[in-house]
Structure 1
Amino acid sequence: MNIDDLIAIDIHVHAEVSCRCAPDAFGREFDEAAEKYFKFTHRPTIPETIARYREKRIGLVMFTVDAEANLGRRRIPNEEIAEAALENRDMMLAFASIDPHKGKMGVREARRLIEDYQVAGFKFHPTVQGFYPNDKLAYPLYEAIAEAGLPAIFHSGHSGIGTGMPGGGGLRLKYSNPIHLDDVAADFPGMKIIIAHPSWPWQDEALSVCLHKPNVYIDLSGWSPKYFPKELVHYANTQLKHKMLFGSDFPLITPERWMQDFEAAGFRPEVHPLILKDNAARLLGFA
């Protein structure tokens, strides 16, 4: 990334529509429930998303979520996102997503994506993937990530996916309590771990893990900053000011709206550049 040319780095951007694979209509009810919950309908293609961020001079980290074992839906290819990042390396990075249930085949894929596609990190969503982050089934994947010196981002807290569906679509919120990442951070102290989102209803657990473990960070995606818990804003202004990261959760929230609301959300002026760009630049190895 050409850091000096960017006004911010959005660490949490979703790939929504592949230009190579037709959308998988299986499980369309999850899309419909999410659109109702998040109040959005437009799902941009990968090139559309990149063009939007380039116009705004915002760097982005993009990923899909591989939950093929638990949801039975085909993922967007990691290779498609990684190739887009290589073509836009001045302002984009790709994180890969591999379902931990894929075992040794998943580890093989992770190593191939690191070596051949230069992916810059990995994305996990315990609720939709159906696993506790500290389950040993995921540890071989973490070992490959840690060996490469790459970060991993984990969804935490409530999930809009499945909200309002009968039985929550069969998804279980318990997997995304951030306290389970404490074990991962202790067992892989050299792997940077990003706890995604305000972790309601477990915000205090996320703050505690982030404060206790030097390799743990928090991204502020998924919510407008004007709704952030006061404890989160307090720690972002003080003890954790170097460990908080801007993330939007686009397209669920646009980066423009997030940044506008951020200006009036009680963050001290001196932490604005840290959260918007500087902390991510250091974590990603650009500073």
Structure 2
Amino acid sequence: MIRLHQIIAILLIFSSCNSDGERKETTENDNWYKGPIIDMHMHAESDNTLPPEKLALCLPLSNLVPHFDPKEEFGKVWDSTLKNPRCKTPIYSSTTFEDYSLRIQDQLNKLNVTPVVSGSQSILEEWSTKFGDKIIPSIEFNLERDSISVDSLKAIINTHDIKVFGEISNQYAGIAPNDPRMDSYYAMAEALNIPIAIHLGTGAPGSPYLFSPKYVAAYSNPLLLEEVLKKYPRLRISVMHYGEPFIDEMITMMYHYPQIYVDLGGIQWAYPSDYFYEFHLKKLISAGFGKRIMFGSDTFIWPELLEKSIEIINNAEFLTTEQKADIFYNNAARFLRLKK
């Protein structure tokens, strides 16, 4: 399966220039976590999924297009923004897998990260050859895009030692998480004892006008998982993007269904840090769920998103060193049932 360049725009939109142009550089402090990290949310790219020209990314994403008049064509505005960045230090995408993989390798080594890498079977094979046991393979899935039966998917998982079933990105196809067509896939994951990672949360601003006309924002609501968890009580679920912006709904689901974990999945760089800290991360922590929040960078064509994502969590002054260790490593290790 080949991820279209339109999907590049999807996560693209997750990072834009803020009103001041760029984030200030930060310095490490005594509360800076420096141990091993598990990234629950990285996308596997290849020569077929990288854009043919360099695209520029500025952080955070929410103000990438600060205002829009619908007399214009939204796609042209996005294209112009990515090619003409307004911040002083944008991140540029790679155009070849060789350059991209070198940059990824540098990030993984420097930051001591083991990523859960989501991609198609063919791309995961390419990554396994390149990175070996330094990655945790996760098979991506979309009901509308992927014509693959339950039995075929089961064979792939068993044959290729796939550790996670996800990212399940049905939301972009207008398919709710409790759609009955997913029942047999959920049953398979429960029977195989393999965790699933499902996209519930913010997509690209304007994505219904770009490449995902069927995207439904309301399907981010974690309450839609209740029926699934009643049918499959032994299913382990990682809610990618933590069902943002449905924080209260996410909290009540974590309260009633203690097997649910969440990953931060790029939302930390989608919005200004003050907003992310105050209304998202701090609220999940204050509700008492610090043991089920997992780090996720949502890194794709810009490898340095990994380092930026780590920096944002480390800069959260309200987090203790123990809480950071849980988010960066302990919670994911428990969720994945990694051997010590």
RMSD over aligned CA atoms reads 3.4
SS at the partner of 1:142? helix
SS at the partner of 2:229? helix
In the TM superposition, residue 273 of structure 1 has moved relative to its aligned partner by 0.6
- Aligned mates of 2:77, 2:237 — CA distance in 1: 31
Q: Which residue of 1 aligns with 2:299?
A: 250
**Which letter maps to 1:242?**
K
State how 1:196-207 maps to structure 2 within 5 Å: 196-207=240-251
Pick the aligned partner of 1:130 from 174, 183, 204.
174
Task: State the structure with bigger RCO (CA 8 A, min sep 6), 1 or 2.
Answer: 2
Q: Which residue of 2 aligns with 1:10?
A: 39
Contact 1:207 1:232 in 2 (8 A): no
State how 1:169-180 maps to structure 2 within 5 Å: 169-180=213-224
Pick the aligned partner of 1:51 from 77, 99, 105.
105
- Aligned mates of 2:238, 2:200 — CA distance in 1: 10
Contact 2:263 2:293 in 1 (8 A): yes
Q: More deviation in 143-152 or 196-205?
A: 196-205
In the TM superposition, residue 15 of structure 1 has moved relative to its aligned partner by 1.9
Query: 1:49/1:281 Cα in 2 relative to 1: closer, same or farther (>3 Å)?
Result: farther
- Aligned mates of 1:30, 1:83 — CA distance in 2: 32
- Aligned mates of 1:43, 1:96 — CA distance in 2: 23
Provide structure 1 residue ranges, at least 5 long, that are not aligned to the other structure: 65-76
SS at the partner of 1:224? helix
Q: Which residue of 2 aligns with 1:92?
A: 135
In the TM superposition, residue 86 of structure 1 has moved relative to its aligned partner by 6.8
- Aligned mates of 1:107, 1:63 — CA distance in 2: 18
- Aligned mates of 1:191, 1:13 — CA distance in 2: 22
- Aligned mates of 2:309, 2:109 — CA distance in 1: 16
1:192 aligns with 2:243: no
**TM, length-normalised to structure 2:** 0.67
Sequence identity (%): 22
Q: Which residue of 2 aligns with 1:67?
A: none
Cα deviation per residue 1:23-45 (whole Å; 9 max; x = unaligned)? 799xxx98994995898651573
Contact 2:35 2:325 in 1 (8 A): no
Cα deviation per residue 1:195-245 (whole Å; 9 max; x = unaligned)? 111433311111211221122101012122723243532432562111110
Contact 1:100 1:141 in 2 (8 A): no
**Which letter maps to 1:268?**
T
Q: Which residue of 2 aligns with 1:154?
A: 198
1:219 aligns with 2:263: yes
Contact 2:144 2:170 in 1 (8 A): no
Q: Which residue of 1 aligns with 2:158?
A: 115
- Aligned mates of 2:117, 2:77 — CA distance in 1: 22
1:268 aligns with 2:311: no
Query: Higher Cα Rg: structure 1 or 2?
Result: 2
Contact 1:63 1:78 in 2 (8 A): no
**TM, length-normalised to structure 1:** 0.79
Query: 1:168/1:128 Cα in 2 relative to 1: closer, same or farther (>3 Å)?
Result: closer
1:240 aligns with 2:289: yes
In the TM superposition, residue 181 of structure 1 has moved relative to its aligned partner by 1.4
Q: Which residue of 1 aligns with 2:6?
A: none
In the TM superposition, residue 112 of structure 1 has moved relative to its aligned partner by 1.4
Give the length in aligned residue pairs. Answer: 266
